[in-house]
Structure 1
Amino acid sequence: MQYLRRNLALLFALCALVALSRCGRKGSPGGGPMDTTPPALVRAEPPNNSTQFKAKRIRLYFDEYIRLEDIQNQLIISPPLKNKPDITPMGGARKYVEIQLKDTLLENTTYTFNFGQSIVDNNEGNPNNFLTYVFSTGDYLDSLSLTGAVADAFNLKPDPFISVLLHEIDTAFTDSVIY
């Protein structure tokens, strides 16, 4: 009887040791489907398309962590500001973009911030194409529009990543090629 108990205890200990050694396996998690959706703008402070704009700070909030890529070349501000605004995050990932304006804005003027493909999600790098933030320092947003087609001069095919801006020709802008 003693012999049987000792063998059962030994068998039980052996089974427990084998069971516990199988608990945690090394390896990488399989993950899920690849993220292909760009970050979406969920809110803005002040709201997009605001009128009577007087703020010095703009915050754009997104549904996921984002980072900025090539913001110096991608961001187009119309009409151009004399002093470039401070834009964060320049390093690291956040769920918002903050713009600190340094200029005094013109009265009764509609401003457009076109981010191009500079706002991308942190993990996969999916760009939010042509995100635009618009505000007016006056009572209304300019409602003028322009329609047409822009083609590459070399192959006469439309380019999918083009921005067209109109600027008043004055002492600051005497050439049609600003950027």
Structure 2
Amino acid sequence: MYTAADLLLALQRRLQLTSPHLRRPPGEFPPAWKAWFDGMAARVGRVTGATAQSMVDILLARPLAERPRRSGELTRWQAFGSLWRQEWHGPAPEDRRTHLIAATITLVWHLVFVALLIWFMFVYLLAVELEATKRRGEDVVQVEFVGTGTPEDVGGGQPVP
């Protein structure tokens, strides 16, 4: 009698549900790759050069790379300012002039923009105030009391002292 694992294995073999790279043992290439690799040695313009071991020897002869210099201890404000920069380092000396010019242009532009906004607001308020003073006496409301009697009449209201 078959077990569930045997049945699944038989179905996988039949349908080849496993990935293609899992169907062959590690280190074995597909047949087309094998033929291509074998044919490389017989080509006219084949690649020749140093062996892998000679390249490793050249790399081992190089001196070890130095670790990057560590920044000194930062104050609280320097640490806060370094959060706004990439890689926590200040601008390179060749970039400082460009950064300073860009910051100056941006600052001048914003100051001009704020000054224009304040000026427009001032002109608008002056225009509104000027128009209000022109119309100050134009709108007159006449009040008329409707009723019977006046203070001079008998029973017509309280007399004014």
In terms of fraction of residues, the more strand-rich structure is 1
Which structure's relative contact order is higher, taking Cα pairs within 8 Å and 6+ residues apart?
A: 1
TM-score class normalised by the smaller sequence: under 0.3
Q: Which structure has the larger Rg?
A: 2
In terms of fraction of residues, the more helix-rich structure is 2
What TM-score does the superposition give when structure 2 sets the normalisation length?
0.19
